[in-house]
Structure 1
């Protein structure tokens, strides 16, 4: 990132993409190591989870069809019933293992990339060993923030379900349809807004002393004035990730027209693209943080931020807000 703090406030969507690309390209060696050691396994876990879940569902659906064709009370019926129960248990155990691994690698990858971009911004000496060493010092803070975001998302979806139930029993088919369309639009906007706050809160948890709901509040305040820019960026990234996921499903999971070699090649391509998108997204969310800080005229003292990052390499001591939240500059 070759722009000064004062100039960052004028960076738009294209500029954020450009600054993120420049950072990755200029420091491609260390970002390659982070990708291979952390982000690639994260993408691999995600795509393998899709394949294994697909296999589980196929087996369960096939056995349930066979169960419906079998007369109840027979030994075969009891055997199929027990088999289906076992398959559902294995499926949920697999889901639990997947979410645990995915959650862990998400925390580690976020901490590593945010720290790396911050070190680039402050011109700190940066090695892959330092990046790996800070992860155990910050993952707990990120975990609390992720759990708070999960709670917020859960409550948001509960309210959405309750609203849908209210629409369904309100009567009036035409009115209910109109309300549903309005609700769907509001729901999508709300999800995008929470997603933006989630990404900024993750960066705040690493670069400032706030975490959890406090980091969410800071993220919400920072995004003011740049909400449309952030929404557009994360919407583009989400669409790109959706395209990769769709390609993986069609070419690999449902690739009946391709031989095994072709499906493996497609899987490798999708894995590479998903990993690159994940890295790009993590760098972008950190760049957006610096853009928002500049937009609100919060001049980030590079030496103070550098000291904050240095603390991760020793015994972590949270800095006071005045040390990291720093002075405002005049424009």
Structure 2
């Protein structure tokens, strides 16, 4: 049994001559994150497979469920231009189109809510699995998912606050841009100034998202949520925001490149397919999101060490950081 006062173990391997952490901290995080997957491959791969399977099933169900309504809507809409507006048939078409539109919106709303909940569940699973591995503990998939169900309230509340902050930022940006568009349109939309404003807005959001992403990590690995998790994240990230910003920029740029590349490849290899390309895009984005959460989990523990805090898991149970040469504890061992 590990004493709760035991200090985190430092990696006994010799420091890299390149000293990535001193030159560019986020590069060190990118080196550390994949090791989490390798150290606990069975658990991490199980979470990955479950995530891909659930996301794919949801997407397929969504496509299959709304395709008849969309096809019917397009077919009926094509008759509007050739139907007399004063005839009863025109009124019937409008009524039928409204019904189809409500059905599509309703199904899409259900899909978005279900997919958001599923994404949050597997994001929580990825964070907890990464934290478990980083601290040298090994859970079975069943035990991990059981713990995720019990603590899901914390990241859900934090996620809700993060969505409100995202909405607030979007409203602020809209309120700032609309007057410029009204005053200078169409020159504003075509000018280099509009591009500069957009780039600055994206970079500033990436800067704000550093705290928001770290708050989600805090709400999973500590007994904090909502405003308290955001406050703890702001406290932890002091002096390390540039590392988080670089991570956000890197993952954002990589996501754009992947989407662009898959669309190009998909249009050539799967021309006309309405299922393969969306599946590739969805699963690729899910994998990138999972890896970014693993990187943020490493950043979280690095920030805790920087501030002299113990490496702790939920419930106040403390573990030591896993070394590359230290075998993981079995799931039935207690710390």
TM category (shorter chain) comes to: 0.7 to 0.9
Matches within 5 A, 1:1-331: 4=11, 10=22, 12-42=25-55, 45=58, 60=73, 63-170=76-183, 180-246=194-260, 258=271, 270=281, 273-294=284-305, 297-302=306-311, 304-305=312-313, 308=316
Q: Could you say what secondary structure the match of 1:98 adopts?
A: helix
Quote the Cα distance in structure 2 between the aligned partners of 1:41 and 1:105: 8
Deviation at 1:65, TM superposition (A): 4.7
Which range moved further: 133-142 or 278-287?
278-287
Quote the Cα distance in structure 2 between the aligned partners of 1:77 and 1:89: 18
| CA distances 1:200-223 after superposition (whole Å, capped 9, x unpaired) | 111010122321122223323333
Determine if contact 2:125/2:144 at 8 Å carries over to the other structure. yes
Quote the Cα distance in structure 1 between the aligned partners of 2:285 and 2:195: 32
Structure 2 unmatched ranges of 5 or more: 1-8, 319-335
| CA distances 1:93-136 after superposition (whole Å, capped 9, x unpaired) | 12221221122112211221211122122222322122111112
Structure 1 unmatched ranges of 5 or more: 311-331
If the length of structure 1 is used for normalisation, what is the TM-score? 0.75
Quote the Cα distance in structure 2 between the aligned partners of 1:265 and 1:179: 38
| Aligned match of 2:332 | none
**Gap change, CA 1:161 and 1:306, over 3 Å in 2:** closer
Higher relative contact order (CA 8 A, sep 6+): 2
Determine if contact 1:251/1:266 at 8 Å carries over to the other structure. no
Deviation at 1:48, TM superposition (A): 6.7
Q: Could you say what secondary structure the match of 1:205 adopts?
A: helix
**Gap change, CA 1:98 and 1:259, over 3 Å in 2:** closer
Which range moved further: 241-250 or 104-113?
241-250
How many correspondences in the alignment?
A: 303
User: Once superposed, what is the RMSD of the aligned Cα atoms?
Assistant: 3.7
**Gap change, CA 1:29 and 1:301, over 3 Å in 2:** same
**Gap change, CA 1:277 and 1:135, over 3 Å in 2:** same
Judging by fraction of residues, say which structure has more helix: 1
Deviation at 1:25, TM superposition (A): 1.8
Which range moved further: 219-228 or 240-249?
240-249
**Gap change, CA 1:169 and 1:230, over 3 Å in 2:** same
Quote the Cα distance in structure 2 between the aligned partners of 1:90 and 1:197: 38
**Gap change, CA 1:181 and 1:82, over 3 Å in 2:** same
